[in-house]
Structures are given as C-alpha cells and as structure tokens.
Amino acid sequence: MLEHKQDQPGRLAENIVYFARALRAAGIPVGPGAVLDALEAVKAAGVGTRDDFYWTLHAVFVKRHEHSVLFDQAFRIFFRRRGYIDQLMAMMLPQAPAEPHAPQAGATRVHEALFSGLDDKLKKEREIELDARMTVSDREILQHKDFAQMTAAEIAKAKEAMKKLVMPLAEVRTRRLAPNAHGHLIDIRRTLRASMKGGGDFIDLRFIGPKTRPPPIVALLDISGSMSQYSRIFLHFLHALTDTRRRVSTFLFGTRLTNVTRALRERDPDDALAACSACVADWSGGTRIASSLRAFNKQWARRVLSQGAIVLLITDGLERDADDTLAFEIDRLHRSCRSLIWLNPLLRFEGFEARARGIKTMLPHVDEFRPIHSLESIAALVAGLQRGGGAGDPKAWMRKVA
C-alpha cells in the first residue's frame, strides 16, 4: 500500500513534485501546471487503491500514448516501496540482484534518467563487444556515429541554399477560404460590413478564394553503410527544412526505423544532430529497405501522411533482398502520399543505369527520381530538387535498361 495515506498532505505534494521531476528526466514533458493538476486530481479522486492512484496520475501526466510505457516504468520504480530514497540507494548498491526477466520497453530510458552516470562503465564494455561484429554488414551494427562539428561556413551555406529552395509542388490548395481580391466567391460577411459604412445604400462586393499552404513533408533517410558519406549532409539539409517549414517529419532507417523529428527541432544544428545521433542505434549498418518501409507504413503512415504529404525517400536503393515485399511496401507508400520523390546519390555517376534489382523494383512506384550531383554541396542538392522534366521522370530510366 502506498505510504502517502498515512502521511500529511505536505508529504504527498512533495512526492508528486519529485515524481514529476523524475518523469521529466525520463523524457515526458511535464510542466509545473501539470504538478498542480496532479495534486488537484489526487485530492478529487480521493485515492483508495494503488491502481486508482496510478491512473489518476496517468490521466494528468501522460499526454501521448508512447509515454505510457515510460510512465509505467517510472511509477513502478518510484512508488515501489516506502520512500524513494531507500529505493535509490538499493539500486545503487552493486550487489542489488539483477532482474531475472528481460528488461521491458522504456526501462532503459527511465533507468538512465534516474541513475545517469552510474552505468557508464557497463555501457562501455557492451560497446566493445558490439564493435567486434562490425565487419558483418548484413547484421545490425549498434554503433554510435560521432558527428564532426559543423563549421560556421557550412551553416551559412546551408542557410543560403535553403533560402533559394523552392520545393516541387510548393503550395497546395486547402479547403479553407481567405480574403482574396481575385477570389471566386463573395464574402458576404465583409461585404455587409463594408456596405454598413456607407449606410447600406450601395453594396460593394468583397471576395474570398481558396487558401494555399505548403504541404507536409516526410523524409525517409537511409543511413546504412553505403550511404554514410551522404547522411550527415542530408541531415543538415533536413534540419534546415524543419527550421523553415511547419510540418516536416524525419525518419532514419538502416536496419530499423527511427523517428527523429523531435530531435531535429533543436534550434542549433549541432545540438540537433547530436540529439539525432543519440536516438539512432544503427548508424552505418546494413540496409533493410523493405522492412523499414513496412515499419513506416504500418506505424507511421497513417499518422504523418495525412493532408497531402510529400515523401522524400533518400536512399541509393541497394537492397540485398529485393523481393515482392519491397515492391508491395513501396507501392503502398506511393498510394498513401501525395507524391513520392526518390533522391538517389548514385545518379551523380555518368554511366548510372537502373540495373540493380532493388532500384528496378522501386522505380515504377515513384513519381520523381532525382539525382544529387555532388556529395558535399547542399547547393547541388537543392538544384537537384528544383530541376523538373526529363531527369526526374522514373520512366525514362526504366526505358534505358529495358
């Protein structure tokens, strides 16, 4: 049973404040307002059982489904026994018995948040172990990639390039209407108000027309070994894009899919890239395009592809096992977005032909197939995006090898 029942209300408040702090450290955004809400909620619910207490706090602190797991772990650790300090000490002691079963999802993050710094040593050993497998490209390689610091000149160049960037299909029409002198509908409200000014003697028509808005962008960036030279510069590009547009979602994939949208929102590019690097476990490993696309289609497509999103697929398309699954998944991706643009760095080679099986499988399903000529230059990437016509038509590449 929980200890707060016997305690004075002051102690309960204190516990909730500490608990909120632990949640914040574990990565759940909990503001001070939520702490006050939690106190009010606990008072309102008049908590009787542990379960009720759990769900009361859950109702206030958790605002996203994926935070439920973190909350659950934090709650277990925090309220497991009397006094969380005792608990902390027990966890710190080296002879504390290890959990017999496999760690649950979210446990690592909460554990790290609560006891950061403690198991650095342990982690290092683990990393060495994993490094031994690096030569096998097909297997998952859990290797953290270190980003070199970006130079000021690079940042300036990236920003300048972004200014010139006009994305294909830059604006889409929405169903919303806005005042527009050349609009096709009469805005009766504004018309009436304007005519009131003249006492209603004559009616001066005002118009409205459809409003346009840049569509959401979803970038799927391949970070496998064969793409390693490019992935860093593309991340800079995506960071700049996230900075200027409102709805940009970024996913990285190698052997597994990672959503780094939130990490890229950091204002400073270096911070953003460091945050990105921290979320990803499979830098420069093998590629499993089909399974990554499958994961995207299943878990994210319905959440980020609404309202006419454009998908930028950035990969060389060198998939080992190009089979029916790949064709099926790329087809599904193509059907669920407004337009699918494939950016392939291999196109910079003069004699490139769409011969690799993976490329041949994916090509019929993309709307545009565009090159990125020079690796280190963002300017070239932007130019590649802007160029229309023949070079972007996937059918031209299909004909060449037919």
Partner 1 sequence: MNKPSPRPLPTSIGSTVDLLAEAEYLADRSLGTVLFLALKMGRPIFLEGEAGVGKTEIAKVLSSTLGRRLIRLQCYEGLDIAAAVYEWNYAAQMIAIRVAEAEGEHDRARLEHDVFSERFLIKRPLLQALEPDTAGAPVLLIDEIDRTDEAFEAYLLEVLADFQVTIPEMGTVKATQPPIVVITSNRTREVHDALKRRCLYHWVGYPTAERELAIVRAKVPGVSKKLSEQVVAFVQALRKEDLFKSPGVAETLDWAGALSELDVVALDPATVSDTLGVLLKYQDDIARLEGSKVKGMLDEMKSDLRAAE
Query: Which residues sit opposite 248 in a β-bridge?
Result: 217
In 170-183, which positions are buried (b, 16+ CB within 10 angstroms) versus exposed (e)? eebeeeeeeeeeee
In sequence order, what are the residues at sequence separation of 6 or more whose Cβ sits closer than 8 angstroms to the Cβ of residue 63? Answer: 29
Report the residue from 14, 21, 31, 400 that binds partner 1 according to the rule CB under 8 A.
31
Least Cβ distance, residue 288 to partner 1 (angstroms): 16
Give 287 or 297: the residue with its C-beta nearer to partner 1. Answer: 297
Which stretch, 30-38, 111-119, 154-162, 391-399, contacts partner 1 (CB under 8 A)? 30-38
> Which one-letter amino acid corresponds to residue 201?
D
Give 87 or 336: the residue with its C-beta nearer to partner 1. Answer: 336
Give 10 or 200: the residue with its C-beta nearer to partner 1. Answer: 200
Q: Give the total of residues touching partner 1 (CB under 8 A).
A: 44
Contact positions with partner 1 (CB under 8 A) in 183-212: 188-189, 192, 195-197, 199-201
In sequence order, what are the residues at sequence separation of 6 or more whose Cβ sits closer than 8 angstroms to the Cβ of residue 286? Answer: 137, 138, 139, 140, 141, 224, 225, 254, 255, 320
Check: CB of residue 207 under 8 Å from CB of residue 184: yes
Mask 33-62, x = binds partner 1 (CB under 8 A)?
xx--x--xx--xxx----xx--xx-xxx-x
Contact positions with partner 1 (CB under 8 A) in 57-86: 58-60, 62-65, 68
Least Cβ distance, residue 48 to partner 1 (angstroms): 8
**Centroid of chain to Cα 119:** 28
Give 129 or 171: the residue with its C-beta nearer to partner 1. Answer: 171
Give 91 or 188: the residue with its C-beta nearer to partner 1. Answer: 188
Least Cβ distance, residue 275 to partner 1 (angstroms): 18
Hey, what are 238's tokens?
């995506």
**Centroid of chain to Cα 270:** 17
Give 215 or 286: the residue with its C-beta nearer to partner 1. Answer: 215
Give 41 or 141: the residue with its C-beta nearer to partner 1. Answer: 41
Residue 352 interacting with partner 1 (CB under 8 A) = no
Sheet with 217-222: strands ordered across? 257-259, 248-253, 217-222, 310-314, 339-344, 368-371
**Centroid of chain to Cα 258:** 7
Measure Cα distances from 128 to 56, 124, 132, 291 in Å. 43, 6, 7, 28
Report the residue from 5, 21, 144, 298 that binds partner 1 according to the rule CB under 8 A.
298
Give 20 or 34: the residue with its C-beta nearer to partner 1. Answer: 34
Which stretch, 20-28, 106-114, 142-150, 301-309, contacts partner 1 (CB under 8 A)? 301-309
Give 58 or 320: the residue with its C-beta nearer to partner 1. Answer: 58
Closest Cα partner for 227 from 316, 150, 354?
A: 316
Rounded (10°) CA dihedral 353, 357, 358, 363: 50
Query: Distance between CA atoms of 77 and 110, rounded to whole angstroms?
Result: 9
Check: CB of residue 209 under 8 Å from CB of residue 185: yes
Give 163 or 175: the residue with its C-beta nearer to partner 1. Answer: 175
Least Cβ distance, residue 216 to partner 1 (angstroms): 8
Report the residue from 174, 180, 228, 377 that binds partner 1 according to the rule CB under 8 A.
174
User: How big, in percent rounded to 5, are the helix, strand and coil portions of the chain?
Assistant: 50, 10, 35
Site residues (vs partner 1, CB under 8 A): 29, 31, 33-34, 37, 40-41, 44-46, 51-52, 55-56, 58-60, 62-65, 68, 174-177, 188-189, 192, 195-197, 199-201, 246, 297-298, 302-304, 306-307, 328
